[in-house]
């Protein structure tokens, strides 16, 4: 879906609680969110439960989406990621809602979309396919170093040193 169309739909949700606009956003983003949870080893049932929570947050907090700060998909991803972290925290404390803290940090971040995009472009040009794959497996799919080693059939020490080397390559640009 075109970025301008998404922005328009989210505006309709935040201003008029437009259910039709929300249904379009739902059709666009819910399969990605659901797939993200399944990729992260959640059961189909858990994935749908969390997807529902993310979509409910999008409905209630649509006014917090700032298109100058990030793309809608990035905003949705951070909500989905935060819900997943919260889901996995073994000992949930009543006094600390980590999701609130993460929302707060996101809302108060001063970086703009253009600046971020140019940095991301530099990083993606710099990394080769294997390095991108390692970052994806370790940080996006949250696979343990041990599981990555098994999956890629390389020694554990190599996984660790390659991830470290990739991060240090990335940090030249950030």
Q: From the list 3, 52, 130, 158, which residue makes contact with another protein (rule: CB under 8 A)?
A: 52
**Min dist. Cβ of residue 18 to another protein (A):** 11
What x/- string results for residues 115 through 154 when contact with another protein is judged by CB under 8 A? Answer: -xx-xx--xx----------xx-xxx-x------------
**Listed ranges 3-11, 107-115, 151-159: which one lies at the site for another protein (CB under 8 A):** 107-115
Tell me: does residue 43 bind another protein (CB under 8 A).
no
Tell me: does residue 68 bind another protein (CB under 8 A).
no
- Angle formed by the axes of helices 44-60 and 19-39, to 10°? 140
User: Where on the phi/psi map is residue 127: left (φ > 0), alpha (ψ -120 to 50), or beta?
Assistant: beta
Query: How far is the C-alpha of 124 from the C-alpha of 54, rounded, in Å?
Result: 28
Total residues interacting with another protein, rule: CB under 8 A: 77
- Angle formed by the axes of helices 72-88 and 19-39, to 10°? 50
Residue among 72, 136, 81 nearest 103 (CA): 81
Tell me: does residue 77 bind another protein (CB under 8 A).
yes
Site for another protein in 1-30 (CB under 8 A): 17, 19, 22-23, 26-27, 30
Query: How far is the C-alpha of 40 from the C-alpha of 137, rounded, in Å?
Result: 10
């Amino acid at each position: 879906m075109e970025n301008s169309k998404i922005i328009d739909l989210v505006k309709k949700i935040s201003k008029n609680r437009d259910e039709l606009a929300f249904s379009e956003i739902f059709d666009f983003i819910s399969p990605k969110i659901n797939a993200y949870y399944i990729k992260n080893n959640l059961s189909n049932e858990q994935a749908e439960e969390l997807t529902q929570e993310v979509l409910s947050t999008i409905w209630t907090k649509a006014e917090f989406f700032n298109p100058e700060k990030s793309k809608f998909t990035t905003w949705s991803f951070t909500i989905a990621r935060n819900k997943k972290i919260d889901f996995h925290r073994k000992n949930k404390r009543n006094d600390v809602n980590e999701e609130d803290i993460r929302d707060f940090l996101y809302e108060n971040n001063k970086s703009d979309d253009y600046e971020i995009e140019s940095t991301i472009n530099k990083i993606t040009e710099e990394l080769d396919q294997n390095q991108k794959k390692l970052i994806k497996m370790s940080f996006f799919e949250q696979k343990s170093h041990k599981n990555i080693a098994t999956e890629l059939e390389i020694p554990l020490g190599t996984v660790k040193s390659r991830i470290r080397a990739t991060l240090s390559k990335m940090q030249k640009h950030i």
